[in-house]
C-alpha cells in the first residue's frame, strides 16, 4: 500500500553482500546450495558451531567500512551497512551502539552462516569492530545540517547519499562531504533541489498564514540552516480547522523530513526525553500543545541555544553521560502554552487562520502536490541561504534581537527572497510584542501590582513587604482574591519580577532593584506610555563586503 506521508519509509536495513570465490572442490566444509547455480562469485551459507560463530562474524566484519566520530558527546564507531540480497538499497552509516546495527548484524549472521547469534556473540563482534574503529581519526558527525569549513552542508537523507554544499557563491549537489552524516532512524529523504526555483510556489500551501506573518514563517525556515548560534522556536496557534498539524508537517518536510506522521509527535513528558529526541534529529516538532511547565520551558531554551546536559550514566558510578543539542523547534496547539519571558523572546509566533472552504483540500492530494513542487521550493530557499551565508556576518539590525545570529542571518537572505529590508525581524518582533501584551493582560503579578499602585506611581519596599501587602488585599471586608498562580513566597516574587521584566514593562511597570546593608530593596514605577512602533533598520554589506 502506498505511503501517504510526505516522505516514504526507508527500505529496511538488511545485510551486506559478501562474495567469496569458490573453486571446484573447495566447499569450505559445506555442501553447495543446490538451488543456486555454482559460480565463481556468489554468497555461501555455512552451518557453523556456536563456538566458531563469533570468529566467523569477525572475519566478515573485517571487510566492512568503518569510521570514527563523536556524536552526542560520545566517541563512537560507525559502520556502513549494505544489502545482502542485491536489491536496490542505498548504503547507510549506523553506530555500533544503535539497535538497528545489531539487528543488521544478526541478519548478516543468519544469511551468511545460517545461525542467529546470541547477545553475547553480538557483543564480542561489536567490541572487535569498535577496537578497530577507535584507532581511526575522529571525524565530525551531523544529522541533517551542519557548518564546516565556511560552508553549510545538508544531507538529502538515507535514500540518497549525496549532500547539498552551500557556499557564499551559491549551492550545488555533491557526492562527498567532509562530514559524516548519520540520519535518524525515522529520517526521510529530501528531493534534489532545482536551481532557479520559485518561492511563490510555497505560498500557495499556506492559505492559513496571513500576509503579515508570511515573512516570519519564511525567516524561520531560513534560520533552521544557521551554522552557528542560537536557533528560533516557531509557535503555531489557531482554532480548529486552521491546519496546525499539516502546517507543521509541511514545514518539517522542508527543513528535516521524517517518515510517516512522525512530524506530529506528542510532546515529551520530561526534560530527559527532550534532550534524547534532540540528539537524534535536526528539527524538533511537537503537536497539539496546551501548556508547557517551567522545566520543559527551560529545556527548550537550552536546546535552541545549544548546550549540554550531564547526567549519571546508568549502571556506572562516577561516570557521566553528556547530551548535547542545538535544534530549531516547531510547536503547535490551540494555545501553545508559552508563558515564560525567556521562552517568548526566543519564539516566532504565528496565529493561523481557519482555512477557507475554497482552499481546503484532501491531505493526500496536498502531499502529492507538495512533493511535486518541493524541488523548486528548496531551490529558491537555498538561494536565500547562500546569500545569508555570504552577508550574514556583515549584516546588522536595530533594534537588537534576542536571537541576534538567527535574525541577522535571516535578514541577510531577504533580497533573494523578495522581502523588503527588515521585514522578517519586524514580523518576529511584532509577534512577540503581541504575545507579551496578551500575557501581561492575564499575568497575576501585573494584576496585583495594578491594584497596589492604583493611586500611586512609585512603590518602594522589599519582596517580603510586597507579599504581605498582596496577602492583605485578599483579607477583610473589601478582600479581592489573589489570582491563580500568584507567587506565594518572597523569593518567588523576586524571581518573577526579574523574569517578567519585559511583560511588566509593557504593562507600564519599571522594576529596579538595589541592595542595602539590611535588605534587598525594590523600586517599582508605574508610567503608562504607549511605546512607539519601531521600524527595524538594516545595514547590509556592499559587494566588497563593507557596510553600506
Q: Give me the residues paired with residue 458 across strands.
A: 525
What pLDDT does residue 309 have?
A: 65
Residue 81: band (very low, low, confident or very high) from pLDDT cuts 50, 70, 90:
confident
Positive or negative, the Cα torsion across 452, 453, 455, 456? positive
Cα 271 to Cα 480: distance, rounded to the nearest angstrom: 37
DSSP string, 181-219: E---TTB--PPPP-TT--THHHHTT-TTS-GGGHHHHHH
Q: What is the mean pLDDT of residues 59-81?
A: 83
Q: Give me the residues paired with residue 459 across strands.
A: 524
Calculate Rg over the CA atoms of the chain. Answer: 29
Is 438 part of a structural domain of the chain? no
127 & 152 share domain:
no
Between residues 427 and 83, the one the model is more confident about: 427
**In this structure, are residues 517 and 506 in contact, taking their beta carbons and an 8 Å threshold?**
no
Helix axes 214-223, 244-255, angle to 10 degrees: 40
Cα 252 to Cα 217: distance, rounded to the nearest angstrom: 12
Residue carrying the nine cell digits 481546503: 360
Residue 493: band (very low, low, confident or very high) from pLDDT cuts 50, 70, 90:
confident
What pLDDT does residue 98 have?
A: 84
* Cβ neighbours, 10 Å, residue 248: 23
Cα 63 to Cα 143: distance, rounded to the nearest angstrom: 25
Residue 7: band (very low, low, confident or very high) from pLDDT cuts 50, 70, 90:
low
Q: Is the pLDDT assigned to residue 31 strictly greater than 60?
A: no
**pLDDT tens digits for 144-197?**
999 998 999 999 988 888 999 999 999 999 998 888 888 887 889 999 999 988
155 & 269 share domain:
no
Is 539 part of a structural domain of the chain? no
448 & 381 share domain:
no
Between residues 533 and 512, the one the model is more confident about: 512
177 & 289 share domain:
no
Strand runs (DSSP E) across 218-335, as ranges? 233-237, 284-286, 307-312, 320-325, 329-333
**In this structure, are residues 235 and 350 in contact, taking their beta carbons and an 8 Å threshold?**
yes
* Cβ neighbours, 10 Å, residue 143: 20
359 & 468 share domain:
no
300 & 422 share domain:
yes
Written as nine digits, the cell of 228 is 552557528
Cα 528 to Cα 505: distance, rounded to the nearest angstrom: 9
393 & 517 share domain:
no
**In this structure, are residues 105 and 121 in contact, taking their beta carbons and an 8 Å threshold?**
no
Buried b (16+ CB within 10 A) or exposed e, 268-306: beebeebbebbbbbbbbbbbbbeebeeebbebbbbbbee
Distance from the first to the final alpha carbon of the chain: 57
Q: Of the residues 414, 433, 452, which one is the last residue of a structural domain?
A: 433
351 & 336 share domain:
yes
Closest CA to 547 of 386, 385, 397, 389: 397
Residue 262: band (very low, low, confident or very high) from pLDDT cuts 50, 70, 90:
confident
Is 543 part of a structural domain of the chain? no
Share of the chain above pLDDT 70, in %: 81
Closest CA to 95 of 6, 184, 33: 184
34 & 133 share domain:
yes
Q: For the domain that residue 306 is a member of, what is the CATH number?
A: 3.40.50
Burial bucket for residue 100 (CB in 10 Å: 0-12, 13-18, 19+): middle
Closest CA to 337 of 293, 275, 284: 293
Residue 467: band (very low, low, confident or very high) from pLDDT cuts 50, 70, 90:
confident
Burial bucket for residue 312 (CB in 10 Å: 0-12, 13-18, 19+): exposed
Is 129 part of a structural domain of the chain? yes
Cα 398 to Cα 401: distance, rounded to the nearest angstrom: 8
Q: Which of 16-20, 98-102, 139-143, 385-389 has the highest mean pLDDT?
A: 385-389
Q: What is the mean pLDDT of residues 483-492?
A: 82
Is 112 part of a structural domain of the chain? yes
236 & 332 share domain:
yes
What pLDDT does residue 29 have?
A: 43
Share of the chain above pLDDT 90, in %: 34
Segments forming the whole domain that contains residue 227: 200-433
Total domains present in the chain:
4
Between residues 93 and 548, the one the model is more confident about: 93
Reported as type and span, the H/E element at residue 363 is helix 363-391
Cα 499 to Cα 466: distance, rounded to the nearest angstrom: 17
Q: List alpha helices for 414-462, DSSP H.
A: 414-417, 423-442, 444-452
Is 531 part of a structural domain of the chain? no
Order of strands, edge to edge, in the sheet holding 509-515? 458-461, 520-526, 509-515
Q: What is the mean pLDDT of residues 329-342?
A: 84
Kindly list the distances between the CA atom of residue 523 and the CA atoms of 462, 471, 494, 497, in Å, as whole numbers in the listed order: 8, 19, 12, 11
Strands 180-181 and 138-142 come out as parallel
**pLDDT tens digits for 297-320?**
888 888 898 776 655 555 545 555
DSSP code of residue 276: H
Q: Is the pLDDT assigned to residue 40 strictly greater than 70?
A: no
Reported as type and span, the H/E element at residue 540 is none
Kindly list the distances between the CA atom of residue 132 and the CA atoms of 68, 115, 182, 238, in Å, as whole numbers in the listed order: 9, 25, 19, 54
* Cβ neighbours, 10 Å, residue 513: 13
Q: Give me the residues paired with residue 166 across strands.
A: 152, 171
DSSP code of residue 333: E
Cα 176 to Cα 159: distance, rounded to the nearest angstrom: 15
Is 538 part of a structural domain of the chain? no
Residue 1: band (very low, low, confident or very high) from pLDDT cuts 50, 70, 90:
very low
Q: What value, to the nearest 5°, has the Cα angle with vertex 95 and ends 304 and 116?
A: 140
Written as nine digits, the cell of 168 is 557564499
366 & 500 share domain:
no
Residue 509: band (very low, low, confident or very high) from pLDDT cuts 50, 70, 90:
confident
Q: What is the mean pLDDT of residues 63-86?
A: 80
Q: Of the residues 387, 411, 433, which one is the last residue of a structural domain?
A: 433
* Cβ neighbours, 10 Å, residue 194: 16
**pLDDT tens digits for 228-241?**
999 999 999 998 88
Q: What is the mean pLDDT of residues 421-427?
A: 95
Residue 507: band (very low, low, confident or very high) from pLDDT cuts 50, 70, 90:
confident
Helix axes 363-391, 404-412, angle to 10 degrees: 100
336 & 220 share domain:
yes
**In this structure, are residues 83 and 10 in contact, taking their beta carbons and an 8 Å threshold?**
no
Q: For the domain that residue 476 is a member of, what is the CATH number?
A: 3.30.56
DSSP string, 123-139: HHHHHHHHHHHTTSPEE
Q: What is the mean pLDDT of residues 508-517?
A: 80
Closest CA to 72 of 367, 278, 334: 278
Q: What is the mean pLDDT of residues 500-512?
A: 82
What pLDDT does residue 312 have?
A: 54
Is 547 part of a structural domain of the chain? no
Amino acid at each position: 500500500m502506498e505511503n501517504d506521508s510526505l516522505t516514504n519509509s526507508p527500505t529496511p536495513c538488511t545485510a551486506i553482500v559478501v562474495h567469496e570465490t569458490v573453486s571446484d572442490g573447495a566447499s569450505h566444509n559445506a555442501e553447495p546450495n543446490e538451488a543456486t547455480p555454482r559460480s565463481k562469485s556468489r554468497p555461501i551459507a555455512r552451518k557453523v558451531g556456536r563456538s566458531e560463530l563469533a570468529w566467523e562474524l569477525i572475519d566478515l566484519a573485517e571487510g566492512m567500512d568503518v569510521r570514527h566520530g563523536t556524536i552526542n558527546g560520545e566517541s563512537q564507531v560507525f559502520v556502513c551497512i549494505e544489502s545482502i540480497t542485491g536489491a536496490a538499497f542505498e548504503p547507510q552509516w549506523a553506530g555500533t551502539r544503535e539497535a538497528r546495527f545489531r539487528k543488521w548484524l544478526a541478519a548478516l549472521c543468519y544469511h551468511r552462516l545460517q545461525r542467529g547469534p546470541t547477545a553475547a556473540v553480538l557483543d564480542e563482534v561489536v567490541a572487535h569492530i569498535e577496537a578497530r574503529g577507535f584507532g581511526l581519526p575522529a571525524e565530525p558527525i551531523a544529522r541533517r545540517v551542519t557548518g564546516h569549513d565556511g560552508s553549510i552542508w545538508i544531507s538529502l537523507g538515507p535514500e540518497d547519499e549525496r549532500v547539498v554544499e552551500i557556499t557564499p557563491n551559491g549551492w550545488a549537489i555533491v557526492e562527498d562531504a567532509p562530514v559524516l552524516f548519520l540520519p535518524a532512524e525515522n529520517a526521510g529523504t529530501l528531493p534534489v533541489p532545482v536551481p532557479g526555483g520559485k518561492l511563490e510556489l510555497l505560498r500557495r500551501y499556506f492559505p492559513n498564514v496571513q500576509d503579515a506573518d508570511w515573512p516570519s514563517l519564511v525567516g524561520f525556515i531560513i534560520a533552521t540552516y544557521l551554522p552557528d548560534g542560537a536557533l528560533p522556536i516557531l509557535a503555531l496557534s489557531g482554532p480548529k480547522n486552521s491546519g496546525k498539524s499539516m502546517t507543521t508537517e509541511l514545514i518539517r518536510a522542508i527543513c528535516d523530513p521524517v517518515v510517516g506522521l512522525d512530524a506530529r509527535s506528542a510532546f515529551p513528558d520530561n526534560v530527559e526525553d527532550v534532550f534524547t529526541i534532540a540528539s537524534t534529529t535536526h528539527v524538533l516538532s511537537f503537536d497539539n500543545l496546551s501548556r508547557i511547565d517551567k522545566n520543559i520551558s527551560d529545556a527548550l531554551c537550552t536546546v535552541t541555544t545549544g548546550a549540554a546536559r550531564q547526567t549519571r550514566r546508568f549502571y556506572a558510578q562516577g561516570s557521566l553521560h553528556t547530551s548535547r543539542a542545538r535544534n530549531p523547534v516547531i510547536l503547535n496547539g490551540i494555545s501553545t502554552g508559552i508563558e515564560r519571558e525567556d521562552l517568548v523572546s526566543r519564539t516566532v509566533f504565528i496565529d493561523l487562520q481557519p482555512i477557507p472552504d475554497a482552499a481546503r483540500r484532501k491531505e493526500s492530494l496536498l502531499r502529492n502536490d507538495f512533493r511535486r513542487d518541493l524541488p523548486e521550493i528548496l531551490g529558491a530557499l537555498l538561494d536565500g541561504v547562500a546569500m545569508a551565508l555570504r552577508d550574514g556576518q556583515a549584516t546588522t539590525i536595530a533594534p537588537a534581537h534576542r536571537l541576534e545570529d538567527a535574525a541577522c542571518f535571516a535578514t541577510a537572505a531577504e533580497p533573494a527572497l523578495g522581502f523588503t529590508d527588515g521585514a522578517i525581524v519586524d514580523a518576529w518582533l511584532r509577534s512577540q510584542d503581541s504575545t507579551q501584551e496578551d500575557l501581561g493582560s492575564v499575568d497575576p503579578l501585573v494584576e496585583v501590582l495594578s491594584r497596589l499602585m492604583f493611586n500611586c506611581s512609585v512603590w518602594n519596599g522589599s519582596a517580603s513587604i510586597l507579599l504581605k501587602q498582596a496577602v492583605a488585599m485578599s483579607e477583610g471586608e473589601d478582600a479581592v482574591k489573589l489570582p491563580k498562580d500568584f507567587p506565594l513566597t518572597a523569593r518567588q516574587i523576586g524571581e518573577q519580577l526579574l523574569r517578567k521584566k519585559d511583560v511588566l514593562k509593557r504593562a507600564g511597570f519599571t522594576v529596579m532593584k538595589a541592595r542595602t546593608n539590611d535588605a534587598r530593596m525594590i523600586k517599582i514605577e508605574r508610567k503608562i506610555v504607549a511605546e512607539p512602533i519601531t521600524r527595524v533598520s538594516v545595514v547590509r554589506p556592499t559587494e566588497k563586503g563593507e557596510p553600506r
